[in-house]
Chains A and B, each alone.
Chain A
Amino acid sequence: MGCTLADVTLPSLGESVTEGIITQWFKKVGDVVARDEPLFEVSTDKVDSEMPSPAAGVLVEILAGEGDTVKTGARVAVIDEKADPGTIAPAPSESSPAPAPPPVASAATAPALSRPLDESPNGVVVSPVVRRILNDGGVEAAAVQGTGPGGAITRRDAERAVAPGPSEEVVVSLSNGRRRMGQHMSVSSQSTPHGFVAVEVDGAIFGKLETLGRVTRDGEPISDEMVVSLAAVRALAEFEFLNATYSGDEFVLHRTVNLGVVRAIADDGMLVPVVHAAAGLTLRALARRINELDGRLSSRQLTTDDLMGGTFTVAGAPSEHVLWATPIIIQPEVAILSMGAVRLVPVVNVSGGSPSIEVGRRLVLGLSFDHRVCEPVGAANYLERVAELLAGMDLESER
């Protein structure tokens, strides 16, 4: 057979990143891989990313096992682009953590099953005790997925179903994402004296957004957070001491705004992807850039560069009834703006003669700031300016 081997190397993970830890292989030796199919997961101190396969063929060798730290550019696997999948004999190297299974299988991995065990039916009750627990708790057996053989509902399953939550204290290890978040938040809150101010502002602009439609003329979805972000970026032009980084004794005012947007990852901490050079963008362009980042986030394709260089951050409302949040500053920035949800509220209209009550939209904007470089009044003035820009935004042309 001709030599048709392609090396898989650890690609550059961003400017300042020289190595990563391989946390998971999605393929094993002998598996067929398509080009761009996720091949392995790599973890850095910033993010976990899925790495696509650079070639199509059969994975013939894994050179770096799960848990190994690998330099960028190093070979991690070999793909044979011409191989017949059936003829590959697993040839694990020393560092290969998981040699292909021998031709004996355990019951759990017996192949070619017409109905895998994990497709067990719901609601299998084999014990009268279990039936009684479910009856007493008012839980239908059909709603319970059992963990016993064949999906049988065990006593423990039933007890959990009627009183959800862990039945005992369990020690769990934090995910990589939470560990990274925890480190950053601890350092930030310990090193920086945080101040916080909040203002309630008019949200009429969001009513207009509803009327016009929540998409740009290019078809990009628009969120409330994008509208606030646009106003926040523009207001920074007059409050340059907030578009800044402060580390050690250096207080640096930045010429452009690199806007971070806070994104929670389910059960895995949060990430703050950055829209670089956000000053000067229209709502249309900002929406496209944020949506691009969100797309890469959900496909786990964010690079370290996407997470670097932020100068100011906006944190959207965590849920639809949040009044305000007091965020922790993303280091080495000096301020982070948080928004509450846009709410329909009764407002007093004093513009025409006698005061009257109307239905209006309101939201709370908050700013956590580094009290070493900013005073509350400066923060409040900035938020007032954001409110003005929001109220005066020309959505029709922006979108």
Chain B
Amino acid sequence: MVNEVQQFDVVVIGGGPGGYAAALYGAAAGLNVAIVERDKVGGTCLHRGCVPAKEFLETAHVHRTVEHSSDFGINATGVSVDFAVSQARKNEIVERLYKGLSGLLKGRKVTIFAGTGRLEKDLSVSVLDGADAGVVAKGADVILAAGSVPRTLPGFDVDGKIVVTSDEFLDLNVLPERATVIGGGAIGCEFASLLSDMGSQVTILEFLPSILAGCDTEVASVVQRSFKKRGIEIRVGAKITGHTPKKGSTTIAVEGEESVVADMVVMSVGRRPRTEGLLAEGTGVVINERGFVVADGYQRTAAPHVFAVGDVVADAPQLAHVGFAEAIVAIKTILGEPVVPVDFDRVPWAIYSNPEVAFCGLTEAAAKEKGYDVVVKKDPFGGNSRAQIIGDTEGVVKIIAEKRADGTGGQILGVHMAGPWVTEQLGAGYFAVNWEATAEEAAALIQPHPSLSETFGETLLALAGRGLHVG
């Protein structure tokens, strides 16, 4: 193949959420866009991350519902789990979404090059391997959206059988009897929750003093209590020194503590940016000491006309929806349109474990650390009529507001939720935090009755000085 240079308005390296959002949004504005993707468009989120994981979590939810159906007078007998069916269903959903996305990109005339892209110093992108190896695509602007890959710990080589990361876990047909999840962050808690709900014996090993360390402590403790009640063993402050695999199982050594035997180790110790080999010499793009691409609020890297979005970006949350938002900021900046940068301190977070967690803005501890005098109100879902109807009353809504002189809540700084469907309920809290509403302003708005969202409304009323049910 001849190394002919093809010219585009924007060349995107990586077709995950950040990359494909940039392509769709740019193409919608009339830009001629190319994506260089080494695997399939949709990226980690669609193929090896959020979407498949949530399908399995929903399987676990159905399992729970059926197990408790006799509470409603629905008697189901002979309930069994065929995880391979769930795996096939997940694959169908992913395939359907993949086809939909591919069709959408094609419809907007986005060119897709198959292979690994590398940015050269003249704003051209070389395709190094794959079906389109040798192609050089030059952009007036280039967007780096190469994404991230799971990290593992030294001594834990991923073999896909005993030691797995999310990449391998999501392709399993059979779940292990005894699973140890290393890392009790969002991803680890989702895996622990679904494994437990599907009948596995689960241990979480967390190095930090608590699981879900980034969450408000009270919300994290709701999950911790629920996990313990369901028999999940949680060991925090655990320093893992290695493991000794035997046939079909392994023994994980924990410094100064009893070791753990497991049939499978699920590594969820974070994700590292995929920036090795991404840049040729002399591009001017700055990579920080942890391998992330440094970008400003407009997603501009240190090199003119080179942008970065998604998981490769330094000091930004690794969330698909943040990648979408960054992609829009990058394209608008390229177009010269006015745009407000993503406020990373106020993005929505969602953890789809059982119970679910969702939050936005500052935790109580973070608000105090920033010097705010705060007032905090919380309302458990126990008193919520809809929660009792659906038979899921575990959880709490907690709101943190700036304290006014009269002691009532002023500007809402953070909204934190744990419990049924809170990932779907967070929207109202997200608006309140980002629109910088006071408790009073937000409390004046009505929540439907009966609904789970009333718990949020109740908490706001209490924060504004006088609650209906909450003091």
Contact = CB atoms under 8 A, between A and B. Distances in A.
Interface string B221-253: 000000000000000000000000000000000
A106 B290 CA distance: 12
A111 interface: yes
Contacts of A148: 340, 343
A105 B343 contact: no
A129 B436 contact: yes
B340 A150 contact: yes
A137 interface: no
Nearest to B343: A149
A114 B306 CA distance: 11
A129 B437 CA distance: 6
A155 B314 CA distance: 28
A149 B342 contact: yes
A117 interface: yes
Contacts of B297: 107, 117, 149-150
Contacts of A350: none
A115 B314 contact: no
A128 B435 contact: yes
B296 A126 contact: no
Interface stretch (B155-163, B280-288, B349-357): B280-288
B341 interface: yes
Nearest to A155: B436
B55 interface: no
Given A114-B304, A126-B434, A129-B435, A107 B294 contact: yes
Contact of B340 (A112, A152, A155): A152
Interface residues of B, number: 30
B300 interface: yes
B437 A112 contact: no
B296 A107 contact: yes
Nearest to B435: A127
Contacts of A126: 340, 434-435
B286 A103 contact: yes
B289 interface: yes
Contacts of A113: 296, 298, 300, 302
A104 B288 contact: yes
Contact of A115 (B298, B303, B342, B441): B298
B294 A150 contact: no
Given A112-B302, A149-B341, A105 B294 contact: yes
Contacts of A114: 300, 304
B338 A124 contact: yes
Interface string A40-53: 00000000000000
Contact of B295 (A103, A110, A155): A110
A389 B284 CA distance: 71
B301 interface: yes
A397 B298 CA distance: 65
B122 interface: no
A129 B338 contact: no
Interface string B122-139: 000000000000000000
B428 to A, nearest CB: 14
A149 B316 CA distance: 14
B315 interface: yes
B440 to A, nearest CB: 11
Contacts of A151: 340
B339 interface: yes
A287 interface: no
A127 B438 CA distance: 12
A105 B286 contact: yes
Contacts of B193: none
Contact of B294 (A110, A128, A130): A110
In this complex, the member of B297, B340, B437 whose beta carbon has the largest number of chain A beta carbons within 10 angstroms is B340
Contact of A150 (B302, B314, B339): B339
A121 B338 contact: yes
B411 interface: yes
Contacts of A150: 297-298, 339-341
A331 interface: no
Interface string B435-448: 11110010000000
A112 B339 contact: no
B296 A104 contact: no
B294 A106 contact: yes
B435 A111 contact: no
A107 B302 contact: no
A341 B46 CA distance: 76
Interface string A81-123: 0000000000000000000000111111011111101000100
A154 interface: yes
Interface in B300-333: 300-304, 314-315
Nearest to B316: A107
A148 B341 CA distance: 9
Contacts of B339: 150
Nearest to A154: B436
B304 to A, nearest CB: 6
Contacts of B294: 104-107, 110
Nearest to B341: A149
In this complex, the member of A113, A121, A126, A127 whose beta carbon has the largest number of chain B beta carbons within 10 angstroms is A113
A94 B304 CA distance: 36
B303 A112 contact: yes
A124 B343 CA distance: 14
B142 to A, nearest CB: 14
A117 B435 CA distance: 22
16 contacts: A107-B315, A108-B296, A110-B295, A110-B296, A112-B284, A112-B304, A113-B296, A115-B298, A117-B341, A129-B438, A130-B436, A148-B340, A148-B343, A150-B339, A152-B343, A155-B411
Given A106-B315, A148-B343, 18 more contacts: A104-B294, A105-B286, A105-B288, A110-B295, A110-B296, A112-B302, A112-B303, A113-B298, A113-B300, A117-B296, A126-B434, A127-B434, A127-B435, A127-B436, A129-B435, A130-B436, A149-B297, A150-B340
